[in-house]
Structure 1
Amino acid sequence: MLRTIIVTHKTSRKFYTSNRITNYAKMSKSATRKKHLTVAYEEEDSKKTKFIPKNWQNVLDNVRQMRNDNDAPVDSMGCEKIADQSADEKTKRFQILIALLLSSQTKDAITFGACEKLKTFGFTPVHLAKANLSEMEDILKPVGFYKTKAKNVQKTSQICVDEYQGDIPGTLDGLLKLPGVGPKMAHICMSVAWNIVSGIGVDIHVHRIANRLQWTSKLTKDPEKTRMELESWLPFELWGEVNLLLVGFGQTICLPKSPKCDVCLNNKLCPSAFKESPKKKK
């Protein structure tokens, strides 16, 4: 029987299988007391075979190499690049959160441009909470669903002022209670703004690529199911890396339409290679 130790601590949950028990045992008693860890044991049915994709390490290494060779929009205009580096830490976190809120169904370049206009206007929770709604809508054009997002930005700004002293929620649950914030945004915000890995941020790129690579036990219909599938087998230490890797890969090589399978280093490993992009004739 395989024994799985589940170690839980406030916002993070880490899984250690039997081959990591030795490392866990070496933790000092003082460290354990300090973190107030709760340890529980679960017995896994040895007859059940855990889903693990074939060659996933090789595929991931190839994606890393392709990402190193190809700059993507997310590398220069992602949420972590939008925050004003001269601002205080609270304001930076707030700007990261708003950038994520605006990014849904919107290209990075458009989100980046809207945030630059917000900086000119006054990119702080106090300024945005007091802004006129029609003025906010004008600033956010042509962000997708800009009218709805304008309302959500104002509501979120007011909540940050009233309940968090100008900061943003520091927990996953707190972020998810904000208007317009879903699991993808919340997990990425926890990672980028707070440097806490709470889960994998799965957007349309990660969702699409995970299914093309068959990194899910079955075809998933929405990003949240894809997230749960990925977290069931991908090592925890890779959760914080995989979003940026796959998003950039999806923007440059594994495109939504006509993916560039002919130049992809995984075209002999990917189950979906050339199915949407036929081989070019020599």
Structure 2
Amino acid sequence: MSSLKRPASPTALLVSKPSPYHHTVTLFSEASGSTVGGESALRRSKRVKVEESSGPRSLQVEEQDEEEPRPPTKKPRRVKATPTPSTSAVKFEEIETVIAKTSRAKVKREPSASSPRKPKAIPQSLASPHPAPPDWRDTYDTIKRMRTKIVAPVDTMGCDQAQNKETEPQNRRFATLVSLMLSSQTKDEVTDTAVAKLRDALGGSITVRALIAAEESAVAEAIAKVGFWRRKTQYIRQTAQRLQDDFDSDVPKTVDELCSLPGVGPKMAFLALQVAWNINVGIGVDVHVHRITNRLGWHKPPTKNPEQTRLNLQSWLPTGLHPDINHMLVGFGQVMCLPVGPRCGECELSDGRCPSASKVAAKSRTRKVKTSTSATNPGPKLEIEIEDVKEEMTIPEDLLSPLSEVESTGS
């Protein structure tokens, strides 16, 4: 077996150091910055080649010039060689080398900051329109008539109310968007309180500049009662920054641009355009609209999420009714068609027009007042019965005489 040889290189200076992996092995490397004739020395890569011949096995260390150092992409692999009796004076048991296969290395490219990802377009129509339900107009008009007698939370504390305390049109639009973002998974009463606290925390007006300049803790404290308030704190701050950077600190005018903002979905986008810009391009469908239209049997088969509901409704409901149906059904769902325990006995559609109406008749609200006395308890006992719920209370002795006078006068 021939001894290990390293061809002399006139362009590089070698530096030896002991191998950290075995005490009998010495490693050689080029001195950093070594030059010959004003030119930088080329890096030498070592490759171990095992040659098979008729005689004993031999190892040769080949050198290859490389223009640039390339980082290893695989875990170091151990190459073990067993020496023969004819091995030279330098004996060793194993040599460790790093084999870099740069030709197969895959470089992951990061997206450029100057070219942001294009937002996914929001579908606006179905490939096959959903047929209009029979007698839907009569049902719609009946709900609308019942809504005139109902004052729901959405009527006084809905997202459209947030703009009323702002004077600048730009701030009115932004306050509407913020209110919509906070309203997700939150009751209108809680959202309205959070918007008021946020306005106070920002100095009396909800503006893009004030929200960016405000401390995150101050924003979080103001909206801490809404659902998912930690996430929404991040969303509204990031949205304010996006509006300042990309939309001249104003609310965008398209659904796709609105949905590209953090925490803004299709329902918020359609409602924001209707309230902030008076632009009607679709229906804002929330859990109330999704629940009630399915209870009415307007979707065949029933829809599984609000987006399916929106596309079905937009395919047959007249465009002129798109801005009103959300507000009408949300209030109807908050007071009458409740998620649990709907008040079907008080709904006009329970006459057979609603397939989901409960068959239980409404209990009559009767009130009965009885007075009685007993030998053990001389004081009169007052018994009140309201809807099969009885409450009893005993009248004290000091009230007995006025009662007796009334009875005697009445007789």
TM interval, short-chain normalised: 0.7 to 0.9
- What's the TM-score, normalizing by structure 1? 0.80
Q: Is 1:194 equivalent to 2:274 in the alignment? A: no
| Matched-pair contact (CA < 8 Å) for 1:202–1:226 | yes
Q: Is 1:76 equivalent to 2:159 in the alignment? A: no
Q: 1:125 aligns with which of 208, 212, 218?
A: 208
Whole-angstrom CA distance in 2 between matches of 1:115 and 1:49: 39
Which residue is 1:264 aligned to? 347
**SS across alignment from 2:264:** coil
Unaligned runs of 5+ in 2: 1-121, 365-411
| Matched-pair contact (CA < 8 Å) for 2:201–2:218 | no
Q: CA deviation at 1:217?
A: 1.9
* 1:250-261 equivalence runs, <5 A: 250-261=333-344
Q: CA deviation at 1:85?
A: 4.0
- What's the TM-score, normalizing by structure 2? 0.55
Specify whether residues 124 and 197 from structure 1 end up closer, same or farther in structure 2 by C-alpha distance, changes over 3 A only.
same
| Matched-pair contact (CA < 8 Å) for 1:217–1:229 | no
* Deviation digits for residues 70-102 of structure 1 (CA, Å, limit 9, x no counterpart): 101001111111114442100000000000000
RMSD: 2.0
By relative contact order (CA 8 Å, sep 6+), the higher-ranking structure is 1
Q: Is 1:161 equivalent to 2:241 in the alignment? A: no
Code of the aligned partner of 1:202: V
Whole-angstrom CA distance in 2 between matches of 1:113 and 1:155: 22
Whole-angstrom CA distance in 2 between matches of 1:130 and 1:49: 47
| Matched-pair contact (CA < 8 Å) for 2:201–2:219 | no
**SS across alignment from 1:196:** coil
Identity of aligned residues (%): 43
Q: Is 131-140 or 209-218 further displaced after alignment?
A: 131-140
Which residue is 1:107 aligned to? 187
Code of the aligned partner of 2:272: C
Q: 1:64 aligns with which of 120, 137, 144?
A: 144
| Matched-pair contact (CA < 8 Å) for 2:179–2:191 | yes
**SS across alignment from 2:179:** helix
| Matched-pair contact (CA < 8 Å) for 1:170–1:190 | yes
Specify whether residues 49 and 82 from structure 1 end up closer, same or farther in structure 2 by C-alpha distance, changes over 3 A only.
closer
Code of the aligned partner of 2:362: K
* 1:1-282 equivalence runs, <5 A: 51-122=131-202, 123-268=206-351, 269-274=353-358, 278-280=360-362
Code of the aligned partner of 1:280: A
Whole-angstrom CA distance in 2 between matches of 1:168 and 1:182: 14
Specify whether residues 131 and 86 from structure 1 end up closer, same or farther in structure 2 by C-alpha distance, changes over 3 A only.
closer
Q: CA deviation at 1:161?
A: 1.5
Whole-angstrom CA distance in 2 between matches of 1:86 and 1:159: 21
Code of the aligned partner of 2:216: L
Whole-angstrom CA distance in 2 between matches of 1:259 and 1:235: 28
**SS across alignment from 1:258:** coil
Q: CA deviation at 1:118?
A: 1.4
Whole-angstrom CA distance in 1 between matches of 2:237 and 2:162: 19
Code of the aligned partner of 2:349: N
Whole-angstrom CA distance in 2 between matches of 1:236 and 1:191: 13
Which residue is 1:4 aligned to? none
Specify whether residues 281 and 90 from structure 1 end up closer, same or farther in structure 2 by C-alpha distance, changes over 3 A only.
closer
* Deviation digits for residues 157-184 of structure 1 (CA, Å, limit 9, x no counterpart): 1111222222111111110000000010
Richer in helix (by share): 1
Code of the aligned partner of 2:264: V
Q: CA deviation at 1:281?
A: 5.3
Which residue is 1:37 aligned to? none
Richer in strand (by share): 2
**SS across alignment from 2:350:** coil
Q: CA deviation at 1:134?
A: 2.1
Q: CA deviation at 1:280?
A: 3.3
Where do 4+ consecutive residues of structure 1 move more than 4 Å?
none
**Number of residue pairs matched by the alignment:** 237
Whole-angstrom CA distance in 1 between matches of 2:212 and 2:363: 57
Specify whether residues 80 and 281 from structure 1 end up closer, same or farther in structure 2 by C-alpha distance, changes over 3 A only.
closer
Q: CA deviation at 1:130?
A: 2.1
* Deviation digits for residues 214-268 of structure 1 (CA, Å, limit 9, x no counterpart): 1112111110111011111111111111000000100110011111111111112
Whole-angstrom CA distance in 1 between matches of 2:273 and 2:184: 17
Specify whether residues 126 and 49 from structure 1 end up closer, same or farther in structure 2 by C-alpha distance, changes over 3 A only.
closer
